[in-house]
Amino acid sequence: MTGTSSATAAKSTSVPTPIYRKQIPVIYGGKGVTVPVKLFKTLLYRDIQLELTGQPTLTGANNTQANTAMGDEWGCVQQIQWTVNGSDQLLTLSGDDLFWMNFFWYGQAPHTTATLGDATTANPAFDSILTIPAWMPRAFHPFDTAVDGGRYNDMQLSITFGDYTAVNSAATGWTANPSVSIISNEQVLPPDPNDQPKLNRVVKKLTNTVAGANSSYVIPLDAGVSYSRFVINQKTSAGTADTTGDISNVQVVGAGGRIYADLPWQNLVQGARNRSRLPQTVARRSTSSNDQSWGFLNLVQDGRLGESMPNPADARLVFNVSGACQINVIMEQIFPL
């Protein structure tokens, strides 16, 4: 009995305990100003949580859903970048993009602020959290893609803010400037080399504006990496509102012309949400947001990253488009350390 207990205790101490710690917050520097903060790089990252707070100045009568900008409170976050070694990007998304990625990654819609767009509340305050996963959610072994801060000379998170009209078009200022608090979920790197991260993971966004109808609109994919998932969004040409009906079909074509997917749009919305046990609808505060404008294509359905599509050369996405629109593709790339 004593020997069994000792062995169990020895085994349990070899599993690093998660550490949650506050990092330097990102303080609003003005419209279009990118504010970088240095991240601790002594431990291994599991995820980073961003807490966005702020309060636009506007009357209750102007606080309508029609005036609420796309992305709700996260509309004031124009860009989030996680970079290492000065320029290598691990993730580049807008605040609205990150909201939708949290939906697809974690299986439920993130918090929304009920007083935004209620046509009653003046100067509505918001306090909302989104998560940047350092490792790949819905993977069989997420730890394979965790981010080892000790591998890099530099690691930073940068936020580019919009102004108050990026929350509500009738707002006249900030009652409380927006800011982003950062809580990181980290751990000590395991001593066993066989139990350490093996893959780099990059979350990358491509934006293409299509001039008109095109039955075979091609978006090339980066060579030399593998692709696990795609999130596809259709917007107006100006990118100011979600749309539906512009994309009718999407193909994923691998190296040498091999077709990995050939799917009608509703299969990327209804079908994908059935397969991934996601809610079919997501409520946002802004009328410019539309959950049916966001499709999900998961190539690693059982979580094995070995199912990812390799691209040594000429992989691409091919869209059947009925009219002018903007196509946004958010992809999860992996490649060996």
- When pLDDT is averaged across residues 7-17 and rounded to a whole number, the result is 57
Between CA 318 and CA 61 the distance in angstroms is 45
8 has a pLDDT exceeding 70: no
Neighbouring residues of 314: CB distance < 8 A, sequence distance ≥ 6:
220, 223, 255, 256
pLDDT in tens, 52-77: 999 999 999 999 999 999 999 999 99
- When pLDDT is averaged across residues 234-262 and rounded to a whole number, the result is 96
Q: How far is CA 142 from CA 5, 193, 194, 197, 221, in A?
A: 29, 16, 15, 9, 24
For residues 293 and 243, is the Cβ–Cβ distance under 8 A? yes
> Could you tell me how far CA 259 lies from the centroid of its own chain?
26
282 has a pLDDT exceeding 70: yes
Q: How far is CA 132 from CA 71, 87, 256, in A?
A: 17, 18, 34
> Could you tell me how far CA 17 lies from the centroid of its own chain?
26
**Mean pLDDT lowest among 10-14, 105-109, 234-238:** 10-14
Please give the pLDDT value at position 14. 65
Please give the pLDDT value at position 103. 98
CB atoms within 10 A of CB 222: 14
Pairing of strands 225-235, 325-336: antiparallel
For residues 19 and 189, is the Cβ–Cβ distance under 8 A? no
Confidence of residue 190 (pLDDT cuts 50, 70, 90): confident
13 has a pLDDT exceeding 60: no
126 has a pLDDT exceeding 80: yes
Neighbouring residues of 62: CB distance < 8 A, sequence distance ≥ 6:
168, 170, 171
* Closest CA relative to residue 75, chosen from 167, 210, 185: 167
Please give the pLDDT value at position 194. 78
Find where tokens 């240095």 sit: 38
131 has a pLDDT exceeding 60: yes
Confidence of residue 195 (pLDDT cuts 50, 70, 90): confident
State the average pLDDT for the chain: 94
Please give the pLDDT value at position 88. 93
Write the single-letter amino acid at 190.
Answer: P
Find where tokens 């609205």 sit: 96
Find where tokens 């190296």 sit: 255
- When pLDDT is averaged across residues 188-199 and rounded to a whole number, the result is 85
6 has a pLDDT exceeding 70: no
Q: Concatenate the DSSP letters of all residues of 160-177 into one string.
A: EE--GGGTBTT--EEEEE
- When pLDDT is averaged across residues 36-60 and rounded to a whole number, the result is 97
Between CA 207 and CA 223 the distance in angstroms is 18
- When pLDDT is averaged across residues 100-126 and rounded to a whole number, the result is 97
Confidence of residue 99 (pLDDT cuts 50, 70, 90): very high
Between CA 104 and CA 25 the distance in angstroms is 26
251 has a pLDDT exceeding 60: yes
201 has a pLDDT exceeding 60: yes
**Mean pLDDT lowest among 200-209, 280-289, 305-314, 323-332:** 305-314
Confidence of residue 196 (pLDDT cuts 50, 70, 90): confident
Quote the strand ranges of 33-121, DSSP E. Answer: 34-38, 44-57, 77-84, 88-93
- When pLDDT is averaged across residues 167-172 and rounded to a whole number, the result is 98
Neighbouring residues of 280: CB distance < 8 A, sequence distance ≥ 6:
270, 273
**Domains of the chain with CATH codes:** 17-187 (2.70.9.30), 198-336 (2.60.120.730)
Phi, psi of 166 (to 5 degrees): -80, -5
Please give the pLDDT value at position 87. 87
Global pTM? Answer: 0.94
